[in-house]
Amino acid sequence: MIYRRLGKTDLMVSAIGFGGIPIQRISREEASNVMKRASELGINYIDTARGYGVSEEYIGEALKGSRDKWIIATKSMSRTKELMQKDIETSLKNLQTDYIDLYQIHNPKDESVLNEVINEGGALEALLEAKSQGKIRHIGVTIHSIGTLKVAVEKGVFETIMFPYSLVETQAEEVFKRARELDLGIIAMKPMAGGVITDASLAMRYILQNGDVTIAIPGMRDIKEVEQNALAASDFKPLSKEELEKCREIANSLGETFCRRCGYCGPCTKGLDIPMNFTLKLYHDNYDLQDWALERYKALQFHAEDCIECGKCELKCPYDLPIRDMLKEVKKTFKF
């Protein structure tokens, strides 16, 4: 296994980490077995969230007796100090530990939310307090939009950033360079592009060969997936010319159907978070997380059905996606 320093946190993490979203759809026992195998193969980083159903809880149980072998990262959507304080306590209880290695602000969607979190009375205050008390060790942020990412990198308050990155979602590569200059740890989420890439070896090695990125965290739900993903970092070989060509072919084949979450289509006339609507549909269709995706969808302020089909977003999408038609599919998927 390759180990890398996670930016200024100085944590030495395995280059492949364990994405904990799928834990919520397997049993406690299966979660424990899958994590045990991951640990045997050298994986020492696990990512979860307050919002991933029973994921924190199952991970907490699986970690009994082996807490010191793992670097635990979790996150919360809380935006105020008071709510974040409660979430930190809940995470500590669920994870059955007295410290969490990395606590992240989960997906501030734009600069105004980011400022709400950072300003007086915001969630960051609770994280800084918890850090001074030893309850958490480091503070990071997870982001989906490139515009918010650029702002967050320069804020000077985060030690790590998590952002979607894969062979079909490369929009953040320049920002990653800047983040690396600032010694931020860079965590690649959605390395299989939400399930649309099926070749784990290509997907992981594409990310591993970008020296700006510290760690990729594919979601894993069984031992076969753990072994496939771990192999990419235990027996790492750079991609050959032919394999790089295959990556380009995969990216091209997704051309007119796949949202790269670049955010250039915004702002939407009706306030929709367009890429998040598509992301939740991916979770629904490819991750076997129907109920969870529906709950997340319901929690959005605006939904696909609010689209008035003005078409302004399509003029700005660099991939010429038929956003209005795609939103109709989202609407069909999430009926409530």
- Tell me whether residue 124 or residue 274 sits nearer to ligand SF4 (CB atom): 274
Could you give the residue ranges of the DSSP H alpha helices within the chain? 28-40, 55-62, 81-95, 111-118, 123-132, 146-154, 173-181, 200-208, 223-234, 241-253, 274-286, 290-299, 312-316, 323-333
Encoding tokens for residue 271? 């306030």
Task: Give Cα 177 to chain centroid, integer Å.
Answer: 19
Residue 243, Cβ density class (10 Å: 0-12 exposed, 13-18 middle, ≥19 buried): middle
- Tell me whether residue 29 or residue 173 sits nearer to ligand SF4 (CB atom): 173
- Tell me whether residue 121 or residue 311 sits nearer to ligand SF4 (CB atom): 311
Q: How far apart are CA 261 and CA 251, in angstroms?
A: 14
Could you tell me whether strands 12-14 and 3-5 are parallel, antiparallel, or unpaired per DSSP bridges?
Answer: antiparallel
CB of 325 to ligand SF4, least distance (A): 10
- Tell me whether residue 50 or residue 303 sits nearer to ligand SF4 (CB atom): 303
Number of residues that make up the chain: 336
Binding site for ligand SF4 (CB under 6 A): 259-265, 268-270, 272, 274-275, 307-313, 317, 319, 321, 323-324, 327
CB of 328 to ligand SF4, least distance (A): 10
Rounded to 5°, the CA angle 75-89-47 comes to 25
Closest CA to 55 of 11, 21, 88: 21
Dihedral sign computed on CA atoms, order 22, 23, 24, 26: positive
CB of 270 to ligand SF4, least distance (A): 4
CB of 171 to ligand SF4, least distance (A): 8
- Tell me whether residue 261 or residue 281 sits nearer to ligand SF4 (CB atom): 261
User: Would you call 3 a catalytic residue per the annotation?
Assistant: no
Of 52, 165, 283, 297, the active-site residue reads: 52
Residue 281, Cβ density class (10 Å: 0-12 exposed, 13-18 middle, ≥19 buried): buried
- Tell me whether residue 36 or residue 150 sits nearer to ligand SF4 (CB atom): 150
Give the type of residue at 315.
Answer: L
- Tell me whether residue 45 or residue 297 sits nearer to ligand SF4 (CB atom): 297
Does a cis peptide bond (omega within 30 degrees of 0) precede residue 267? yes
CB of 46 to ligand SF4, least distance (A): 28
Written in H, E and C, the secondary structure of 233-287 is HHCCCCCCHHHHHHHHHHHHHCCCCCCCCCCCCCCCCCCCCHHHHHHHHHHHHHC
CB atoms within 10 A of CB 115: 13
Active site (catalytic) residues: 52
